[in-house]
Structure formats: structure tokens, C-alpha cells
Structure 1
Amino acid sequence: MVFRQLFDTTSSTFTYLLADEKSREAILIDPVFGQTNRDLALLRELDLTLKLAVDTHAHADHITAAWLLKEKTGCQIASAKVINAKHVDLPLEDGQKFGVQGVTLTALSTPGHTDGCMSFVTEDRSMVFTGDTLLIRGCGRSDFQQGSAHRLFASITEKLFTLPDQCKVYPAHDYNGRTMSTIGEEKAYNARVGAGANETDFVQYMMAMRLPHPKMIDEAVPANLRSGEPQDGHMPHVPNWGDVQITYAGVPEIDAIWLEQHRSEVRVLDVRLENEAKDCAIAPTLVDQHIALDVLRDRLDEIPKDKPIVTVCRSGRRSALAANILEQAGFEKVASLSKGLNQFQ
């Protein structure tokens, strides 16, 4: 199985990519709206087809990317039936099996943080994606969205803690740099529910917490009940001057076919060394301007802004950095030539 753990620094959210190596069909668990370009780039670079976007619950600290991923890829959306969110194709119930070709998950109803929380267990019970129900050495709060400390205790101890001790725990969040745990570890060391804590211990602990109101709750929860669809129903802004693709490394790129078809509409900036440019037969017919990468930051004021800029180099590596430099300097319409000038020779 292809497996990746991704992280959003703004909300401290983990997104999980699971895919079958043979079918190349993929699942994203708890995708974040603001990380859609990153996730789509990873799918593209790994040659995976997204079939399912799944949320463990209606999040209060970020907006899901489920709707946006469905719009862009045609994937289906899954979440707990009890949430009754819009645009959901697969409303999940306790014990239901779901997934893609080669990857099967079982949905466990684990309410308490919210009434619609679910955890997802792999078929071999080696991995469980616990959302906010069980965190590493902690758990989700239970003071909003129909939360209940009593129900949360039951979800953890009667459902999750019955999984094998070696089962790896992958939560929806961590705020201290921890990435995974195991059921055995949490049973022994969880600060709220481990080491033999009973329901009274746990409930009293949770009642004594005084946590600030989630900053995004008033925006996030209504949006997540729409599966992340913006209130106006409009897609977020994307570059409209060309077929720009954002790589997993965060680089805006344009391919050679598009550049050849729209050559007159852009300014091509060659960032190779001067001797490299002179020795390249294609340069005089393709390139508008030459500024070597090592002096680019010092010569930004020499670059006109009348057209979008496509940076080029031999392989596309230096031009990728050049595109990022230009973006950081305030150039809004910039892309690097994917795969570089080698493909023209």
C-alpha cells in the first residue's frame, strides 16, 4: 500500500493518503482546503487516481477539501451519516466497510468529541485513523458540537482499545511534533484515559479543562456541513493566464506544449549561465531575456511585468527556484518550464 502522512501547519492537521500499488486508486483522509494544490500534485506525481475523500468528523479548526477535490477530480465524498453533510456520496455507519480497489477500511462510530466522529481501521487492523477521538497521549475536547466526555470514554475504551496493541494510531492532529503512536502505548501512557483510568477519572479530567473557543469554529463547521463548499459556491481563484500546475515541491510549472502554443503571450527568462545560453541553439528563438540565477535577486528591476514570465534552464531545476524568487518578489504571473530546455534538443 502507498501511504503518506501530510501536515498542515496552520491547523496542525494530518491528512493521510492511502492507495493501492496495483490499481493506483487512492483515498485521502481529512484533506484540508488550503492544501488542495499540494495533495493534487502528490497524486499526480505518484500516478494515483483519487477515488474517495473522507472526513473523520465535521472539523472546527479547518475547512475540509472534500468538495473541492470532488470538483477537480470527480472523486466521491464520505463521512458519518449522522453528520448529514451536503454533497456526501457515501454516508458511513458503524461497522461499514468501504474503500477503493486494493484498500479496504472499516468505519467505527467513535462519538464524544462530536456526535459524528468516526475512526477508520485497515482490513488487517494494523492501522487506525482516529480523527480527534484519540490523539497521541490525549484526546479531542468534548465541550462543543454535541460532545460528551462519557461517550468519548466509551468510544476510546470499548472500541479503539479493543484493537491489537500493535495497531498504529494516526490521529487528525498533533500540536507537539508527534506523528504516530500505537494502541498499546495509549492504553499504557495516555494522559487522560490510559494507565487504567476509569470513567470518573476521565470525565472529571475533561470537565476541569478550560480551553479557548476554537478560532475557526464559526466559519469551519458550517462550511464542513457543506463538505467544504464555499458559501458562494464558487471555485477558488486559480491562475488564468496559462495551464499552470503546482508541483508537490510548491513550484508553479508550465509544460513545453503550452509554451510553444502561447509563445507570444509570455516573456521567457533564461536563468542559465551566460556561456550555457550562448552554446544552446534553441535560446535565440525562444528566450526574451537572460539573467543568471546567481544574480537574479539583484536584477529583478530589469524584468518587465507586461507579460507573464516563464523561467527556463537546462533541466528545470534552476528555473524552479527562479520562479519562486520572482513570486516572493511580487511577480504574480510566473511559472517554470517543466523539464527544462533539454526536451527541445
Structure 2
Amino acid sequence: MALDVVALPKVLLHDHLDGGLRPQTVIDLAAQSGYDGLPETDAEALGRWFRESADSGSLVRYLETFGQTVAVMQTAEALHRVASECAQDLAADGVVYAEVRYAPEQHLEEGLTLEEVVEAVNAGFRDGERIAAAAGHPIRVTALLTAMRHAAKSTEIAELVVRYRDDGVSGFDIAGAEAGFPPTRHLDAFEYLRRENAHFTIHAGEAFGLPSIWEAIQWCGAERLGHGVRIVDDIFADEQSLADVTDTGTVDADLVRLGRLASYVRDRRIPLEMCPSSNIQTGAARSVAAHPITLLKQLRFRVTVNTDNRLMSGTSMSREMQLLLDDAGWTVEDLRWVTINAMKSAFIPFEQRLALIDDVIKPGYDPVG
């Protein structure tokens, strides 16, 4: 009997709200707001445009596609709709827990305050959860508030995380182009979050290499790494970095040597928020078969599987998992393992994580072996 991947419970830690809109919603919101910059006005054609534009192999070009989605997410009503649909779409795909990130500072063009942005998105997530539960697909969605690397609002965003952490916000993130904008520019925000016992992750090790990962962990204290795929630069076979020899994904995990940073990341069980399809689009990996996630899984790094941007990659959690099954030789047990990894690594209290693992995730995988 064929495996129904959609039916498997899933946990998603790395998903961007402005990267997951339905194409028709982008069109509807553009019409409502008077935005006339869309390259296509047919939903199917617009979805194809997003995917093709994101397939350039350049992270900078990939990020440019967000100008279209952010442009139509400038009112409370628009943010509420997008957040509600996000929760519904994830739930329909079998996601039982998700942390969805967005940058409040990017939604102020029509006069909203940072607080109004957060409250509109939170309300949308609650609305989407209610609709999903009524449809038989219960889900819990929390928000990660993102600061942009090139901007100067990181401390304000960190303060919002603390203010709303008991009202739907579970943590902080920093994102944007890595090269030239190190996370150390925002040390005040990270020091504040640590003082307030607040959780945070950092985009690192995607377009920029080991220095980005080292700074995120050692200077800033990141609990998780957004992507972290370039940790493979510090794993060696015959003294050659695996970044240069993983064309086929067939490296024997028993014959490799970990460098100091890779060993530290594994020893400390620092979660890696890995996004295979997105990494291929931005040039961080050559294919799903050759993606470092499989080797890192074999080496017992705490890897998790994520979507990053569902619209730009034309993907879902089920699609990412199916690709790993089909192209990288994964098993259902591997999917179960990374799902539990993700739930262990979530930014909600321990007892809530444990309840989802014991009551939802493990029973959801038991019937399929």
C-alpha cells in the first residue's frame, strides 16, 4: 500500500509568512489595495512566476520575489487573511505544530504600528486554527518575529517578542542577505533576549559559510540555526571538505571527519532548520539527492525538515518529505525521527512539546510502522 505522506503528523520550524501566500490571495489583495505591480494576474501564471524567479540560483534574486507579497500585506485585514490561510493550508498538509516567521517592520507602509501588525497576524493564526480544527485538522501555530539584518529595528522587534510571548509569539529571528550583514550588528537585541529568557534562532550558514554559523552561535548565542546547510564545509573526507565532494550524496558517513565547529554543533545538539528545495533554488545545494541533510542525518546532527517559502518553492511539508523518500533514500522512520527532532526543538514549554510528541506524533507514525 502506498504511503500517504500527507496523513503523517509534521512539525514545521522554518516557514515565512510572506513566502507562503496563495497566488489567488496575492491577486485579490493587490486588487483591494490598488497595487498594480504584479507580473501576472492569473493565479496559475503568478504561481509559476514566483517559482521560476526563485529558481535563479541566487539568494539575492530569491529574496527580491518577496517585494510582491509584502506589497499586498500592508493592512490589518490583509495580514489577518494571510495568517489565517497559512494556518489552514499547513493543517490540511498534516502539520500539527508550526512556527511561522515574519518581519513586522516590513508591514508599516499603510500606517500600521508594529504592535498592530503583530496583533493582526496573531488573530489570523487563531482564526485559521479554529477553521482547521473544525475541518478535522487541528494545528497549533506560533509566530517568530523577524528583524532584518540590514535594518536597525532589531531591539524593537526583540522587545515585541517579550511583550507578546504569552500571546502567540514564541521567539525571535533575524533574516535577510547574510553577506555584509553579520548578526553581530544586532548584539544588543540578542543580549536583551537572553536577559529576558526569550528564545531565538538566526538565519546562518545558507549563502555565507562557516563564519556566519560561528558568529550566530558563539557571539550571539543562537539556540537554532536557520538553514545551517554550510556546516558541511567543516566536515571532511580525505582532508577535502564535503562541500566539494557531495555531488551524488553517496559519501560514507563512517569515513568522514568533523571539524571543531561541526563537532560543537553536533555535540550541543543545536537544531538545523534545513529546507532542501529552497537550498537548491538559492544554490546552497545541487539536488535533493545530494543535499547535505542526508549525510547530517546519518551523522546524527539534530536536523529538521522545513519548507522555507512554500509559494516561491512551490512546495509543502508533504512534498519535502516525499522528495527525501524518493530521491535521497529516506524511510518513514527517518521522517519520524526528524519530526520528533523538530518538536523537541520548538520554542514552546517542555511539557507542551512532550504532549505533542507522545499524544500526536508517535501515534501518528505507529500505524505505518
- Per the normalisation by structure 1, the TM-score is 0.25
Which protein is richer in helix relative to its size?
Answer: 2
Larger Rg: 1
**RCO (CA 8 Å, sep 6+): is it higher in 1 or 2?**
2
For normalisation by structure 2, the TM-score amounts to 0.24
Higher fraction of strand? 1
